[in-house]
Amino acid sequence: MSLYSQTVDFLSGAFSDNESKLPLLAVAGASFTLGLIARSGFAQSESPKTIFSSPRLAVSASISELENGQLPLPTDVLPGARDVFTPYGSIRVYEWGPEDGPKVLFVHGITTPCIALGGVAHALVDRGCRVMLFDLFGRGYSDCPADLPQDDRLFSTQIFLALTSSPISWTGAESGKFCLTGYSLGGGIAATFASYFPHLISSLVLLAPAGLLRDSHISFQTRLLYSKGLMPENILTSLVRRRLGAGPLVTPKPKDTKLNAADALTEELPSQSAAATQILSRSYPHINVPSTVAWQVNNHTGFVHAFMSSMRYGPILQQRQWNNWVRLGEYLTAQNETSSNENKRPGDNKVHILCGDNDLIIIKSEIVPDATAALGGNVVFKFYEAGHEFPSTIYEEVASYIFEIL
């Protein structure tokens, strides 16, 4: 099959609206051809933005307190909200819980703001923990740097910016270290951060983590996102925005098919029945992940850019991240060799990976051997009867597991 034909298949599969499919295909096909001939012809004439603003200022300036509470993502959706102003744009951080409790820092996934982990965070605070969550650049109420790739360097920097904004110490000698918990893309971010700064972390919990996804599972559709220049960027951005705005796929994805970029959206969203029962925000029980993501797609000017950049440069694929996981495993092996066996529990100095048995992205039969090999055996697994979205649906069980290892 030709490259052009595969591209048409991608565009055709991206939309379910039959009435709009043909004209869109015609425009996209012509744009793809012209892009190969003269890519610069589609360049924006104005100077490129350096920061895409979040909806924060627009929301705070235009709506009342009552209207704010009715939003799919209220500005005070979680306790302890603050905006941290940085050279990369503003970062939305939430922090609450007893100041002297065990500390847990959460890093969320590629499409959902940090509210997706609100249920786990609340449950840990109920158990006496201090928690911190923040919206990754381009999600929720965090701005998005437009001129930097969303890669290990940017994400690690954002973690430090969030940590140092706290009124209490998370990294000092008397801080007691902290548990780092990452979900999906956030799992890949957390593993990479831990591989460079393991001395800051008391424990590492990865929920359906990216980072070791086998390259053979990636579809042509997603490779098109990775390959800048094959299509004009503004055309590709418009197509991705439309697909993300369409929400979850109606037809379940067969297990034996290759993954495409839309799966990252689909699999992070719980079913409608699960979304109806989850309580991610104690202040606003009506909040759920699907409506929050839909609102984010339509209101955050940097979200699609952040999504595409994370797919291209983020800690997702095994071929890019293997060495980071190996470095982390080597550190843990050295720690186990030098630490005393007295009072040592089976899960100490190990990475804890929690997954769903029915996850279509992080597959059990692959993550177990791959993570075990990369980490030199310094890993413990826990599986739930659930899919990729489990941290937002069975958060009490997840919180109980995390609290047990603190």
pLDDT digits (tens, 9 = 90+) for 183-240: 999 999 999 999 999 999 999 999 999 999 998 877 777 776 667 777 788 888 888 8
User: What are the pLDDT digits (tens) for 266-284?
Assistant: 667 665 556 666 899 999 9
Residue 249: which domain range? 51-405
Query: What is the pLDDT confidence band of residue 37, given thresholds at 50, 70 and 90?
Result: very low
Residues 6+ apart with CB under 8 A from 91: 83, 84, 134, 135, 137, 142, 143, 158, 161, 162, 165
Q: Is the pLDDT of residue 53 over 60?
A: yes
Whether 14 maps to a domain, the answer reads: no
Place of tokens 């000092």: 172
Whether 300 maps to a domain, the answer reads: yes
Pull the structure tokens for residue 107: 């890093």
Whether 30 maps to a domain, the answer reads: no
> Do 79 and 94 contact (CB within 8 A), yes or no?
yes
Length of the chain, in residues: 406
Q: Order the strands of the 103-107 sheet from edge to edge.
A: 81-86, 89-96, 130-134, 103-107, 178-183, 201-207, 351-356, 379-384
Highest mean pLDDT among 2-6, 7-11, 44-48, 367-371: 367-371
Strands annotated E in 103-200: 103-107, 130-134, 144-145, 178-183
> Do 372 and 391 contact (CB within 8 A), yes or no?
no
For residue 86, list its beta bridge partners: 89
Whether 346 maps to a domain, the answer reads: yes
Residues 6+ apart with CB under 8 A from 134: 91, 92, 93, 94, 107, 114, 142, 158, 162
Whether 8 maps to a domain, the answer reads: no
Domain count, the chain: 1
Pull the structure tokens for residue 303: 């979200």
**Domain of residue 124, CATH code:** 3.40.50.1820
Whether 24 maps to a domain, the answer reads: no
Whether 9 maps to a domain, the answer reads: no
Whether 129 maps to a domain, the answer reads: yes
